[in-house]
Chain A
Amino acid sequence: MTADATIDTTPAAGSKRERTRAQGIRRFKWAVLTPFLALMLFILMPALLLQGYFSFFAFSIFDAGENTGFSSYFEASEWVGLDLWSDALSDAKFGLAIIRSLLFATGVTVGCFIIGFALALLMYRPFRGQGIYYIFFILPMLTVPIVIAYTGEMILYQNGPLNDILSIITQTRVEAQFLYKQEVALTSIAFLEIWNWTPFSFIIMMAGLASLPKEPQEAAQILGANKWRIFWEVQVPLLRPVILLALILRFLESMAEFPKTWGLLQGGPGSATETVPVYIFINAWQFFDISYGAVLSYLILFMMAGIVLSAIWLLRREKKSLDAMYESKPQEG
């Protein structure tokens, strides 16, 4: 990390006082950043390098045997070049895991967003009972994911309350399997995830709606636009940065979802819930195939880096236009 151009805020007057000020700021900057950079350098960098090493040198748990010291990892691995990489690229299960994760994340993101936005639209103007609803609606986010997983299992259990409620409604004994059936397992987990994280979208959209300036809406009303048009042509465009933020953060976090998928189904039944995190976990920890896990991890790292970079590009663009908008009317903001 090199010194940024932005810290040179005092280019013109080279007075002594301003120079010491710039120096002070620079000292402050490095003092604050040192612990963070030290951790990056001594924890994350070595891990990335090890990951790189093991993606070209195949580690075998059988060669390592009983010896589990640090050096044994190197003694038990041998050069295989790009073999593992070509294995991974032609691994159909890995491809399926990626598709599964993308579908899961998309479904969860859309689900959380639609429910969260709808609730926020119904709630952002004050009404009686608003506070109580708000408290209840943020509760799921405050619940530990692994607790949600196990409580979810109790509810989805064959003799559980969900089947009971369905039985009462349909007047027949419903014995649906929600978890241990290949066709529905991942969808059930997705519903648990949506339950868990709708509050996140809800809170962001509430804040966004509450912060909308009133004038454009009033102007549109005077011009005779109906509610529907005001929503689509005034509110939604103004909310775009917030909407993007809600979608992007939720998508990335659900790509990494692990506690519910693993805690409940460990990739099963069959391989119906083998998402990317679960598939990497199974390879690296259950089969202890560190090398193959490393290659898979690298491929996912590249893929995620691509997604994250484009997400950040989008977010920055929105933030810039928002900044520009607020700077153009200096009395507010």
Chain B
Amino acid sequence: MSMTKSQRRHTFSAFRYLVLTVWLTIVAFPMFWMVSTSFKPDREWFAWPPVYISENATLQNYLVVWADVSEYAVDETGNLETVAQSLQRPWTALGNSALISVISTTLTVLFGSVLAYGVSRYGILSEGRMFQLLMLRMVPPIVLIAPISIWYSALGLLDSITGLVMLYFLTTLPYAVWMSKSFIDEVPREMEQAAEILGASRMRTIWEVVLPLVRSGLVATFLFILILTWSEYLLALLLSKTAVVTLPVELSKYQGSTEGRIYGRQAALSVGITLPLIVVGLIIRKHLARGFSFGMVRR
């Protein structure tokens, strides 16, 4: 087995593309299936053999789910009858999801990054406290959800935006502090000291020296936490009844609906839920790595 160096390199390169393409297929297929199903007419949802790309592609699923268009059919007696319509109100759910995740994420990142600045520059929390903070995120939320809902019922916070925002603030703050701290730590202190020597006030130093340097990192932190709150399911399911139903909870109603499985509709709703996140994620992809490593990776 004697291969020249360039032969070995070629073999490795081929092997790499093979493995990566296999995983690419595994990753892409469910996405493809979701999008493809969302355009299928109902008779193709359960067809055997399964339809991969529908020749009768239709927008019907999107119209029924998102535009509240009802479908009619003629029944045995010759009357028009509604056979399917939007189960709930996806636009209201979309509004709730957007409102809740934007408000709670803004608050979390605002307080989280200021706290992180204090920790990074003045050590206002010891390392031990920082790890205790991380514990908040590490305990499964299910263990406290029942008493919280009882307590919320006493405070009148059940089914309210405030109630969910407060809990999302608490559960995502650890990530916000840790992620933004890893970005702030990278700003050299000398720059702040230089600004101070030049006579700039502390606020001005933070605003004009530190902030521009960590802006992209903070944007990444913001968007990552937005992803977490946007997709949160358990708290939203248990603390909302009608007023603040979010998109993931809305989608789960389709699964439990009496009309049986309605794959096309679910897929059309799923595409709507997923699209904003994918756009957001692609924007921040370069910053995710540093933010995730919690100071365990140095550059």
| A positions within 8 Å CB-CB of B | 1, 4-7, 9, 25, 28-29, 32-33, 35-36, 39-40, 43-44, 46-48, 50-51, 54, 68, 70, 73, 115, 118-119, 122-123, 127, 129, 133-148, 150-152, 154-155, 157, 159-161, 164, 167, 195, 200, 203-204, 206-208, 210-211, 241-242, 244-245, 252, 255-256, 258-259, 263, 276-277, 280-281, 284-285, 290, 293-294, 297-298, 300-301, 304-305, 308, 311-312, 315-316, 318-319, 322, 326, 333
Q: Contact string, B138-172, partner A, CB cutoff 8 A, digits 1/0? A: 11111111111011011000000000001101100
A43 with B248, Cβ < 8 A, contacts A155-B30, A211-B299, A280-B142 known = no
Docked-complex contact A204 and B292, CB < 8 angstroms: yes
Docked-complex contact B169 and A39, CB < 8 angstroms: yes
| B positions within 8 Å CB-CB of A | 13, 16-17, 19-20, 23-24, 26-31, 33-34, 37, 46-50, 52, 111, 114-115, 118, 122-129, 131, 134-135, 138-148, 150-151, 153-154, 166-167, 169-170, 173, 227, 230-231, 233-234, 238, 247-248, 251-252, 254-255, 263, 266-267, 270, 273-274, 277-278, 280-282, 285, 288-290, 292-299
State the Cβ distance, A98 to closest chain B Cβ, in Å: 12
In the complex formed, the residue of A with least CB distance to B231 is: A144
Contact of A123 among B20, B134, B285, B297 (CB under 8 A): B20
State the Cβ distance, A40 to closest chain B Cβ, in Å: 7
A146 with B131, Cβ < 8 A, contacts A32-B114, A297-B143, A318-B296 known = no
- B33 partner residues in chain A, CB cutoff 8 A: 151, 154-155, 161
- B134 partner residues in chain A, CB cutoff 8 A: 312
In the complex formed, the residue of B with least CB distance to A300 is: B143
Docked-complex contact B135 and A312, CB < 8 angstroms: yes
Docked-complex contact A259 and B138, CB < 8 angstroms: no
User: What 6 additional pairs, Cβ within 8 angstroms, besides A32-B114, A46-B147, A151-B270?
Assistant: A123-B20, A150-B266, A159-B48, A204-B289, A294-B146, A318-B296
Docked-complex contact B142 and A208, CB < 8 angstroms: no
A142 with B273, Cβ < 8 A, contacts A43-B151, A122-B19, A312-B135 known = no
Docked-complex contact A308 and B139, CB < 8 angstroms: yes
Q: How far is the CA of A151 from the CA of B278 in the complex (A)?
A: 16
State the Cβ distance, B258 to closest chain A Cβ, in Å: 16
Docked-complex contact B48 and A300, CB < 8 angstroms: no
Q: How far is the CA of A144 from the CA of B252 in the complex (A)?
A: 12
In the complex formed, the residue of B with least CB distance to A289 is: B146
Docked-complex contact A43 and B167, CB < 8 angstroms: yes
Docked-complex contact A127 and B16, CB < 8 angstroms: yes
- B111 partner residues in chain A, CB cutoff 8 A: 32, 35-36
- A207 partner residues in chain B, CB cutoff 8 A: 289-290, 292-293, 297
A39 with B166, Cβ < 8 A, contacts A142-B278, A256-B141 known = yes
The 6 A-B residue pairs with the shortest CB-CB distance, nearest first, are A256-B140, A142-B281, A207-B289, A70-B154, A297-B143, A144-B231
Docked-complex contact A258 and B122, CB < 8 angstroms: no
